[in-house]
Structure 1
Amino acid sequence: MKGCESGETGQWDSDVEALRALRETMRGAESALLVTHDYPDPDAIGSALALAFLLEGSLGVTATLSHGGIIGRAENKAMVQLLSIDMKPLHEIYGGQYGVVALVDAQPGAGNLVLPPGLRPAVVIDHHAETRANLEGVPFVDIRPTCGATSTVLTGYLQAAGLTPDERTATALFYGIKADTMGLARAASDADVEAYLYLLPLADTKILAQIENAQVPLAYFRAFERALERTFIYDDVVVCNLGPMDWPDLAAEMADFLLRWEGARWVFCMGVFEEEIVLSVRTNEMEANAGHVVQD
């Protein structure tokens, strides 16, 4: 799509060429395991659902969606429930016979994905500029840091294949783009805008409203209280240490919330989930890349 080139791989000049290479990689496969990062967000979920739609509709390949952690955020839970998206825990299905393993919105070796020993993907599709990834020997790699969302990449694939997403898939893709780009206000390319406007009339806006206004448990509001008690301001930088968290997405939720603090330009929010440190960084600096700051 325009403004969302395959910049990091530099292999293709168009989605049509990328799709042709993907089909070649999938040749002979009857099934595929699609794996997102461990704690999938709307972009990961929407991208995986769209890839399944593409593989089944274009190649007749049966796809299984999977993740290695949990779906914790209320909106993300509502998304998979209201759109009837079946995402299986990776530990429950790993070892099954799959013709191809594909990583969606994730990369091998990245900090947000732990793959079982011996599981090596043949396909990697992502939009993050991940410096720690190990892509050696992966036949198909399409990483587009100029895209604001992986859902934009998959929308381009569907258009290149001549497939119009059904309402369920369009809704998931639209929400994936909207969530990852903050409604096109954060790191959105021309391609993200194009995909967003293309998907909007195809999406179920009533379900979108239900997802975005999902009910939350009491622990959610207590987490806000804890976050405010543990927040410190250093000029235009907001730092929050949540300590133990009930779900891993909480750091990102609190970072989004704290970025609204008057005068804040950067937010660093961290917490601990299952003995792992989770760090989420947010900025309202349009030219800055929070992901690069985390990696540095």
Structure 2
Amino acid sequence: MSRAAALVSVLEACDSLAIVCHDNPDPDTLASALALQEIATSSEADVSNIAITYGGSISHQQNRAFVNLLDIDVEPIGAVPVDTFDCIAFVDHSKQGVNTSLTTELEPSIVVDHHPGPPVDAAFADVRTDYGATVTIFVEYLQELELAIPSRLATALLFALHRERLDYLREPTIREYEAALAVYRDANLETLERLYGSAFSPGTIDAIGRAIVNRKQRGSSMIASVGRTTETDALPQAAEYLLNVEGVDTVLAYGIIDGTIRLSARSLDPRVNVGQLLGTAFGDLGSVGGHNDMAGGRLELGLFGDDVGDDDEALLSLVDTRVRQRFFDALNLDGASST
């Protein structure tokens, strides 16, 4: 039995399905959710009740445009009674309590992901860490099941493939190019153009501006604080922007969001695995992880702020010092010159 057929076999036993995206969902998890919904509503599976849900917020301007232009029916996790659904599916993440706001008491029966992590115990689990995107797996499912791919779904899949891997050449595999070719014919190119033209919010521009001003560099590595912000997706955008600085190949952007220190790292250096790097630097302080070229995490602010009370300026200074020191120490750059 193929993996696609095995997925359908599990879906056949579900009268209702809650598809859970990871927190602060990006196009890879959202397009994967749409693809799973398409498979679940097909005549092969025929699931009658499906909800797509997420934790955190959709703040990145392209992600907001992605949801609006493609008319994706996705609801905050607090608005969906996930515990009443027969089946729960995780797409683009695999563990309760890790990059998801869903309670750890609820276990998924379906998991499709491409991120590394501990073994997954589910009725259907397909975690392929040698793939560059979760949507690549879903394109293969759709092809194996010989399902027609509607234009809206093809557009979502193609945009997700580009944003996850192909736009920045973040170590895509040949499978990402093959998947893009498979859905290109049915994608709406006008909608794709509008997605790429979506505007930055003022808050995102402000956060990226603070990262530029606050950047510190040692060797070819850079760290930058966006300070306090409500724009979660400003962090990866700041990290990606700063990778354009001459001589820089590894960047960590961080900031304080809703009482939590959020991290986003990017690297073009094949010798650096930023998922492991963040684990070495901050693994004892919170939840971190990712790939060799892109990673993220969150740290509890209280672990840094006990010494400064209500002095916000002192708190930010303390966080900056400790996060920067841990990052450069993990890179063995403690003695390198800093700019």
Structure 1's 27 and 92: CA in aligned 2 closer, same or farther, altered over 3 A? same
Q: Secondary structure at the match of 2:126?
A: strand
Where does 1:173-188 land on structure 2 (aligned, <5 Å)? 173-183=157-167, 185-188=169-172
1:174 partner SS: helix
1-structure distance, mates of 2:82, 2:206: 40
Matched, 1:44 2:29: yes
Match of 2:14 in 1: 29
Q: Could you tell me which amino acid in structure 2 is paired with residue 38 of structure 1?
A: D
Q: Which moved more, 1:224-233 or 1:44-53?
A: 224-233
Matches of 2:175 and 2:82, distance apart in 1? 37
Q: Share of identical aligned residues, percent?
A: 28
TM-score (norm 2): 0.78
Alignment of 1:1-296 (within 5 A): 17-57=2-42, 58-61=44-47, 62-95=49-82, 97-109=84-96, 111-131=98-118, 135-136=120-121, 138-183=122-167, 185-286=169-270, 288-296=272-280
Q: State how far apart, in whole Å, the 1-side matches of 2:159 and 2:22 are.
A: 17
Partner deviation per Cα, 1:132-169 (whole Å, 9 max, x = no partner): xx733x22111111111001000001001101210100
Larger Rg: 2
Contact 2:208–2:238 (Cα < 8 Å) also in 1: yes
Q: What is the letter of the counterpart of residue 129 of structure 1?
A: P
Aligned residues: 278
Residue 271 of structure 1: how far off its partner (Å): 1.2
Residue 209 of structure 1, CA deviation: 1.1
Q: Which moved more, 1:42-51 or 1:243-252?
A: 243-252
Which residue of structure 2 aligns with residue 7 of structure 1?
none
Task: Tell me which moved more, 106-115 or 193-202.
Answer: 106-115
Moved more, 17-26 or 108-117: 108-117
Kindly indicate whether structure 1 or structure 2 has the higher relative contact order, using CA contacts under 8 Å at least 6 residues apart: 1
- Residue identity opposite 2:143 in structure 1: Q
Gapped regions of structure 1 (runs ≥ 5) = 1-15
Cα distance in 1, alignment partners of residues 265 and 126 from structure 2: 25
Which stretches in structure 2 are left out of the alignment for 5+ residues?
281-339
Q: Which amino acid aligns with 2:45?
A: L
SS of the residue corresponding to residue 178 of structure 1 reads helix
Residue 110 of structure 1 contacts residue 130 of structure 1 at CA under 8 Å; is this kept in 2?
no
TM-score, with length taken from structure 1: 0.88
